[in-house]
Structure 1
Amino acid sequence: MLTGGTFWSLVERRAELSPDAPMIVDDRDSALTFAAYRDAALRAAAGLVDLGVGQGVSVSWQLPTWTSTLVLQAALARLGAVQNPIIPVYREREVEFCVRQTGAQLFLVPSVWRGFDYQAMAEGIAAEVDGLDVVVCDGELPTGDVSVLDGIPAPQDAEEIRWVYYTSGTTSNPKGARHCDTSVMASGIAMVERQHVTADDKFGLAFPFAHIGGVSNLSVSLSSGCTLVIAETFDPADTTALFARHGVTLVGGGPAFFMAFLAEQRKQPGEPILSKLRLCSGGGAPMPGSQHYEVMAEMGGRGCGHAWGMTEAPIIAQNTPDDSDEKLAETEGRPLAGAEIKVVGFDGEPADVGVEGELWIRGPMVCRGYMDEALTASAFDGDWFHTGDVGFLDTDGYVTLTGRVKDIIIRKGENISATEIEDLLFAHPKVLDAGVIGLPDDERGERVCAVVELASGADGIALAEVGDYFRASGIMPQKIPEQLEIVDSLPRNATGKVLKHELRAQFSD
């Protein structure tokens, strides 16, 4: 395992150590070796120099999960530029905010992708933002003579801010997390050891690479020598076929993706769709405990090695395949190397083992603050970051998430975890997925509202039926949903996390 240094130094060292080993395989079955990746990045860096990119120059990009996108990250790292990856689902309002706040001088986009005209959007924004130039990249990057790099030293300071990733705010503008090479690499490098990743592994990426999980998993590949199998877009059938063709052993993503693979598996029970799978690895959203057992029983391997992370810290805690089934199903694992977690009770005092509170974190993978210093001041206490997640630590140091500070439903003064109710709903045979929210209520303060997607073939579900189901489970009456809404699909972000602020806005009347 290779560790430490800058992102570009990791690219160079892996290319020297494993020049001919396959690094990337895409959904067109095209492969790129580690040495070819380095060389492509150098050519792209030279092309970017011709466009005025250099040390400290801010560059935004909004590109699909293409091999060229992964090359672009390394090219910008070689030049010491400040890069701002933007997930493809962002539109004019969010994108304009990002490029303005980062002071982007260059914005790389596809022309038209999946029916949306990114070029037109980008050019419209550039007309309003001084100093912003647009470059259209449909799978190809600007290239140049690498000799121009001879006089441009590669960056040496791994703590310099060179990455800005945005996370959607619930009621305001996106929040820009400021990262350095150390923070974007630390989780991926630690994950290699935690989940026993080797050069023999084939790691399937089932989510948008512009998400911070993209660079984290790229760091997994560069530090371990494993192969990344990337899908331009996630389609359950096509992505499964891609991963099967290339013998994927690890699947990266989150619970929503794992559910989609399970649905594919159930089309051919008894015959594994991914015959070499050893672990589903990821996070991004709470995972129902039953999902681990279902994946393990139906797809094989060790089920789900769940993790806990966020834009501000790609992965903080993670399970290992050596953990017990109980730990794999019910926890997010232990802190990664260098990471620390402490639980602060709702009274502001440190919480005891097993007692819920807000989770605070620190470590090399935590961002170095936000673009907005006011957000930094409110989210950090020294080097401790207030995650807004609620959970507890057990006696073995494993963390269990129970919700969000904003997802704690306070009903008649009683704290109720939305996640606990969602887990129970998820196990109902008529429910495919659920989001539980607290809605304003004159009598109760907040009432418990369950918003559900129905399972295939389900003929509907009534609130009374849900109540009977909850009472039969033995749960306390205060936690039984008092409002039930059925939707065709829950609103989600790019990683599959349910957007509860949208549910609250929709159903709060």
Structure 2
Amino acid sequence: MQREDINPFELGLERNPANHVALSPLSFLRRAAQVYPEYPSVIDGARRFTWRQTYARCRRLASALRQLGVGQGDTVAIMAPNVTAMMEAHFGVPMTGAVLNTLNVRLDAETLAFMLRHGEARVLITDREFSPVISRALALLDHKPVVIDIDDPECQGGELLGQMDYEALLATGDAQCAWELPADEWQAITLSYTSGTTGNPKGVVYHHRGAYLNALGNVLAWNMAAHPVYLWTLPMFHCNGWCFPWTIAAVAGTHVCLRRVEAKAIFAAIRDHGVSHFSGAPIVLNAMINAPDDIKVQVTDRIVECTTGGAAPPPTVIEGLESLGMNVTQVYGLTEVYGPTVSCAWNREWDALPAVGRAQIKAQQGVCYHIQEDLMVANPDTLTPCPMDGQTIGEVFMRGNAVMKGYLKNAEATAEAFAGGWFHTGDLGVLHPNGYLQIKDRSKDIVISGGENISTIEVEDVLYRHPAVLEAAVVARPDEKWGETPCAFVMLRAGTDASEAQLIAFCRQHLAHFKAPKAVVFGALPKTSTGKVQKFLLRERAKDLKK
């Protein structure tokens, strides 16, 4: 009997509402409230919430936003530290079908104004602490969003800018508000801006499917048991807190909010709230290691798990945290891949290595999350994979479900990023024989300072505005506290004069302070025969500068 060209496993076996539902992290919140309604969900200063209460508050937020006209395809921006409202926005906003845009609290007014304009924010929820910069940003907009204030009693200073505060907004909403999962899991859930290396920031769009999967990827990569206590040392605005607002709901854990990320507050939270997990940039880990002994907490009843990204922590930091009962795992990712999608998965046989040997392995970025399909190091022009020898450097490429939809309103940059069917990270690395990735350099010359990306070209553009500057180039300079800081190499115009302090102050007038150079070196810039500045030589000079 000859078989027809019809696949019998597709015939009469179509998708329907009974067997196919869009993946969305919103499901995690509903389940946590249903299964563990009285378990603690949030500890925020003196305030405490359960998962039942958090679910009700998120539904109130969704209901209230709908009354303001927010719906599918709209953008709701939020400017806030790691507080309750920030976590709730990760659920309440997408419950309306809208897209959440978390704003970097360290940015300047001009950049924030661009983001609000480009993202077409319909509503802006903003913490009173940031009212000075937000008021300046709003003044630059022709079409202003509805402004809602977070009037946190722990906030000192600032003023109220909006028509009502966040708690008053929630009071207008319905705690039983009906909401639905997206009809299509490809629907956008969040918008995050990354500075890149040229021009204005690019808007990275996440979808519900990726957010759902990467939230579970965090659970698997970290071997998280149910009901962890997660301390918010990582900014929630950064890659949506690496998807951990959704991760903690998936495992019905407890969010411990920190308005100020300081060593004393971190150790106090670990002691007082039984913290089991936290994530942080190397600067956070350095602050903990270098804190006075009288505020350090040595954990003896459990292992506190820590993930860190950006520059690999030095062995002394890893050893120091281990002595306090903490285990450090290196992770790697970018805004375009939902935060970390690579982690240094640990092998038991490495436990027998000396501390220095363990630290060397932990400095590797590692292997893909379960939910990220593939990673390779390859020639950026031909996409030919490099040998897995730990020596041959190539560009890092990724593909899978935890890759962004693309860049908002930027088809050209999106096509470039996805050329050849891979996401081009722009980072340079090697693959070791065991398949573990180790980052070696940043092909786009990004400076990673305190976990934040700084575009060298953005800093150079400001330097060129100074009347005394003829040529300028900025590179990363290693820094024990921040990981890296910008270092500027400048050639002055003949007959002009400017000091290091003057140029740094000038940059601070036009940039967020953390982006300004921490050092300026004067003299001619090394160039190729075609006139291109040889930044690799400048990076070597920056390394040799006296502290």
TM range (shorter): 0.7 to 0.9
2:325 pairs with 1:288: no
1:484 is the counterpart of 2:519: no
- Structure 1 residues 436 and 449: alpha-carbon distance in aligned structure 2, compared to 1, 3 A threshold: farther
User: Equivalences for 1:41-440 in 2 at 5 Å?
Assistant: 41-113=58-130, 116-118=131-133, 120-125=135-140, 128-130=141-143, 132-139=145-152, 140-141=166-167, 142-143=169-170, 144-146=172-174, 149-150=177-178, 153-214=180-241, 216-264=243-291, 267-268=293-294, 272-275=297-300, 278-291=303-316, 293-302=318-327, 304-313=328-337, 314-320=339-345, 322=347, 324=350, 325=358, 328-339=361-372, 340-345=374-379, 348=382, 349-354=384-389, 355-371=392-408, 372-407=410-445, 422=478, 435=485, 440=525
Q: For the structure 1 residues 397 and 289, does the alpha-carbon distance in structure 2 shift closer, same or farther, using more than 3 Å as the test? A: farther
CA distance in 2, matches of 1:361, 1:259: 30
* Alpha carbons 1:62, 1:85 under 8 Å: kept: yes
Matched residue of 1:129: which SS?
A: coil
Aligned residues: percent identity?
A: 22
Q: How far apart, CA to CA, are the structure 1 residues paired with 2:76 and 2:94?
A: 11
* 1:64, distance to aligned residue in structure 2 (A): 2.0
Distance 1:81 1:49 in 2: 10
User: What is the Cα deviation at residue 341 of structure 1?
Assistant: 0.6
2:396/2:426 contact within 8 Å kept: yes
Contact 1:24 1:230 in 2 (8 A): yes
Q: Which moved more, 1:310-319 or 1:278-287?
A: 278-287
Assess if the C-alpha contact under 8 Å between 1:65 and 1:232 holds in 2: yes
| Per-residue deviation, 1:80 | 0.9
* Equivalent AA in structure 2 for residue 175 of structure 1: K
Summarize deviations over 1:416-442 as a string: whole Å, max 9, x none.
xx99x95xx86xxxx885558796414
Hey, what does 1:506 align to over in structure 2? none
1:284-332 per-residue CA deviation (whole Å, 9 max, x = no partner) reads: 4121341564234432233x11100111111111124556325642311
- Computed over aligned residues only, the root mean square deviation of the Cα atoms, in angstroms, reads 3.1
Cα 1:187–1:245, aligned 2, differ >3 Å: closer, same or farther?
Answer: same
Tell whether the 8 Å contact from 1:345 to 1:357 is kept in structure 2 after alignment: yes
> CA separation in 1, counterparts of 2:526 and 2:221?
45
- Which structure has the greater CA radius of gyration? 2
Q: Separation in 1 of the partners of 2:378 and 2:97?
A: 38
Q: 1:154 to 1:480 in 2, by over 3 A?
A: closer
Question: Which residue of structure 1 aligns with residue 25 of structure 2?
Answer: 7
Q: How many pairs are equivalent? A: 432
Q: Please, which moves more after superposition, 235-244 or 116-125?
A: 116-125
Give the counterpart letter for 1:96 in structure 2.
A
Contact 1:262 1:299 in 2 (8 A): no
For 1:361, give the aligned amino acid: M
1:18 to 1:320, Cα distance in 2 relative to 1, 3 A: farther
Shift of 1:81: 0.5
- Helix, strand or coil at the partner of 1:38: helix
Other structure's SS at 1:406 match: coil
Deviation sequence 1:363-409 (CA, Å, 0-9, x none): 11111110121211221125411111111222222111111113499
Cα shift at 1:191: 1.6
- Residues 394 and 235 (structure 1), Cα distance of their counterparts in 2 relative to 1, 3 Å cut: same
Residue 504 (structure 2) aligns with:
none
Unaligned runs of 5+ in 2: 1-20, 153-165, 351-357, 448-474, 490-524
Contact kept in structure 2, 1:361 and 1:384, CA below 8 Å: yes
Cα distance, 1:119 vs. partner? 5.2
Whole-Å separation in 2 of the counterparts to 1:119 and 1:437: 29
Q: Secondary structure at the match of 1:76?
A: helix
Give the aligned partner of residue 519 of structure 2: none
Deviation at 1:79, TM superposition (A): 0.8
Give the aligned residue type for 2:34.
Answer: E
Supply the distance in 2 between the matched residues of 1:404 and 1:362 (Cα, whole angstroms): 19
Which amino acid in structure 2 is aligned with residue 15 of structure 1?
A
| Structure 2 match to 1:18 | 36
Unaligned 5+ runs, structure 1: 410-417, 451-478, 487-509
- CA deviations on 1:224-246 (whole Å, 9 max, x unpaired) are 22222120121221232123211
- Shift in Å at residue 67 of structure 1? 0.7
Q: Give 4+ residue runs of structure 1 displaced > 3 Å after superposition.
A: 147-150, 271-277, 320-323, 406-409, 431-440, 442-450, 479-483
Residues in 1 aligned to 2:68 and 2:93: alpha-carbon distance in whole angstroms = 12
